Structure 1
Amino acid sequence: MEITRVTAYCISFGLALAACQPNTGKQQETARNTATDTLVYTYKDYIKYSENLIKTSETTDTAFFSASYPVFDDSTANRFVQTALLGDDSTTVEEAASTFIGEFDRFYASDSYPRIWTSESHAKVYSITPTYLGLAIHASSYTGGAHGNYATIFKHYDLQANEWLTLNDMVIPSFQNELAAVAERYFRQQENLGVDQSLEDAYFFDGGQFSLPDNFAIEPDSMLFLYNIYEIKPYVNGQTELRIPHTDIERLLSDRAKRIIAELNTQVKP
């Protein structure tokens, strides 16, 4: 089966291959909570296959939609997960799967040489504290073309204030130019670039000007910024991670960010 491409219906991830199966949606729940987690949760797995088979001389296969995500006892946290995963708090995983498989079935009926479509969405708890929930959504999908796409997207939620968080909530906006300057220093070190070496030839930065993505994760000792494929490098180079130690940017962080970091560092390790 071929690599997949991100679609409008879901954010998806995975390397699993699917053999042909009946057109049913299957769900499975697996406990994943640990002693350090504030909210108890389990992971739910769901997969739906198309009934339309694509046969070759070597294999028989079909399109599928697969998703996994944490389910909490807290309804507000669950709405956050659903919206982060699907982009819509009114769409269920089952509805997104039916839409994706339905589009494939229409494509199958109209194409003389149809290709398998695949879509996988996997949301995992990246960080959790008494007041904060961070998700990492790993995504990949394929609906035709030379290759598929994949992405990792981080989403953040303040459990205390019941609101989504962005970079502006973590780093004071008036300090973000300084954040970018610190980040560029680490980026150049990581990429073995000189202080004045141009970024125009090997990277996709607009006008050769370094910039940070909005896609970030909060870790106990650093902020992780993730550039997905095509953002700053060709597809073949994949994703680029850039970590900036908190010690270098502590003065730029908001009080909320400092609170979350303190909670991450005071959790008892299992």
Structure 2
Amino acid sequence: MKRLGVLLISLSVIACQSEKKTTGQTDSTNAGTTSSSLTYKYDSLQVFSKTTTAIDKGKADTAYAKIVYPIFSNEQLNQLVEKKAIDAAGDVDSEKPKTYKEMAASFVEGFDSVNGEPDMGQPGAWFLDDQTKVLVSQPDYLCLEHSNVSYAGGAHPNSAMVFWNFDPKTLKEITLESLIKEGGLPELNAIAEKIFRKNEKLSPTASLKDSYFFEKDTFSLNRNFTITKEGLKFLYNPYEIKAYAYGSTELLIPFSELKALAKPNTLLSPTP
């Protein structure tokens, strides 16, 4: 549906679209400084289509894309976050956008390319709302929360939220395997399943087959996590383990359950 040539054309005429972007002005609500000297502020851009599709009673559909993202003092980190945001958007083109601006323009161009076609989907303005926020900022832990909500025809919008965990000194990803002792993941999964069944009001032996989407009908932790003040929090997005109507599912494993499993000198290690 979207081809590189069309994308380049759409980018060349982007000035003809309505685009708004912050200019670096900050206040106490949208700027901060990490303890590891990673200063940041939030910036944003919006791209609107001038193409509309007339629907009944004088209404018209159009499209817009809004992207909000942090700008750090570390340019390498900025490039890493921008790439992850583009990858998470799930663009199916063979030529993926390389910048936030290209990502927004590509989405709007998608609306323009199918405008008025019978298979466009149910009426409704197309939109993309993509936001990356600094969730946790500590000397040894940087967690970003990335949310993507979009509608491009169909029964309902699609949404997903993921956590990105980094060591702010090295910019290396903090994985679950790097926090849990070798061989400890099965035990962690067993602990999580007990919590999950309690939250879902399921007995220890109740089948997961009919109401959940776990592979082979067996509970498993995903790798979408953040470390909170209470413990290790996992998030399952809509459609991941339940029907869309049930929304997202959170699962918190408290620190008290992690004492025997945490690697020494990591973010999950018990404090003295």
Same fold? TM cut 0.5: yes
The answer for the alignment partner of 1:164 in structure 2 is: 173
Q: Does 1:42 align with 2:41?
A: yes
Summarize the alignment of residues 85-96 of structure 1 with structure 2, pairs less than 5 Å apart: 85-87=85-87, 91-96=98-103
- CA separation of 1:256 and 1:234: change in aligned 2, threshold 3 A: farther
Compute the displacement of 1:144 (Å): 1.3
Q: Closer, same or farther in 2 for the Cα pair 1:251/1:180, shift >3 Å?
A: same
Could you tell me how far apart the structure 2 residues matched to 1:133 and 1:180 are?
A: 24
CA contact (8 A) 1:25 1:94 kept: no
Q: Name the counterpart of 1:33.
A: 31
SS of equivalent to 1:213: coil
1:23 equivalent in alignment to 2:21: no
Quote the Cα distance in structure 1 between the aligned partners of 2:138 and 2:163. Answer: 16
State the 4+ residue runs in structure 1 displaced beyond 6 angstroms.
Answer: 259-262
* Aligned residue in 1 for 2:234: 225
Q: Encode CA deviations 1:230-254: one digit per residue, 9 max, x unaligned.
A: 1111110000000000111122223
CA gap 1:136/1:117 in 2 versus in 1, 3 angstroms: same
Question: C-alpha displacement at 1:170, in angstroms?
Answer: 2.4
Within 5 Å, which residues of 2 pair with 1:44-83? 44-56=43-55, 57-83=57-83
Change (3 A) 1:58 1:176: farther
Letter in 2 for 1:148: P
Q: Distance in 2 between matches of 1:51 and 1:246?
A: 52
The match for 2:92 is none
Partner deviation per Cα, 1:106-148 (whole Å, 9 max, x = no partner): 1116558675321110001111111321111111111111112
Q: Is the 8 A contact 2:97 2:106 kept in 1?
A: no
Task: Tell me the residue number matched to 1:98.
Answer: 105
Q: Deviations over 1:183-236 (max 9, x none)?
A: 011111111111212221221112221101111111122111101011111110
Q: Deviations over 1:146-198 (max 9, x none)?
A: 11211111111112222122222222352110000010111111111112122
Which residue does the alignment assign to 1:120? Answer: 129
**2:243 matches 1:245:** no
Secondary structure of the residue aligned to 1:167 is coil
**Whole-angstrom distance in 1 between the partners of 2:70 and 2:270:** 22
1:192 alignment partner, SS class: coil
Residue type of the partner of 1:195?
Answer: P
Partners in 2 of 1:188 and 1:197 — Cα distance? 9
SS of residue matched to 2:173: strand
Structure 1 pair 256/135, CA: closer, same or farther in 2 (3 Å)? farther
Match of 1:191 among 200, 207, 213: 200
Aligned partners of 1:181 and 1:46: how far apart in 2? 44
Query: Identity of paired residues, percent?
Result: 32
Question: What are structure 1's unaligned runs of at least 5 residues?
Answer: 1-21, 263-270
Deviation at 1:259, TM superposition (A): 6.9
More displaced stretch, 27-36 vs 59-68: 27-36
Structure 2 unmatched ranges of 5 or more: 1-15, 89-95
1:139 maps to 2:137: no
Structure 1 residue 216 corresponds to structure 2 residue 217? no
Indicate the larger mover: 184-193 or 112-121. 112-121
Distance (whole Å) between structure 1 residues aligned to residue 214 and residue 193 of structure 2: 12
Query: What secondary structure is seen at the aligned counterpart in 2 of 1:220?
Result: coil
Segment drifting more, 109-118 vs 242-251: 109-118
Range that drifts further, 133-142 or 103-112: 103-112
* Partner AA of 2:109 in structure 1: G
Aligned partners of 1:112, 1:83: CA distance in 2, in Å?
Answer: 31
Residue 76 to residue 113, structure 1, CA distance change in 2 (3 Å):
closer
Check conservation: 1:129, 1:260, Cα contact below 8 A.
no
AA of the residue aligned to 1:49: F
CA RMSD of superposed structures (Å): 2.5
Q: Give how far 1:51 is off.
A: 1.0
CA distance 1:113–1:90, change in 2 (3 Å): closer
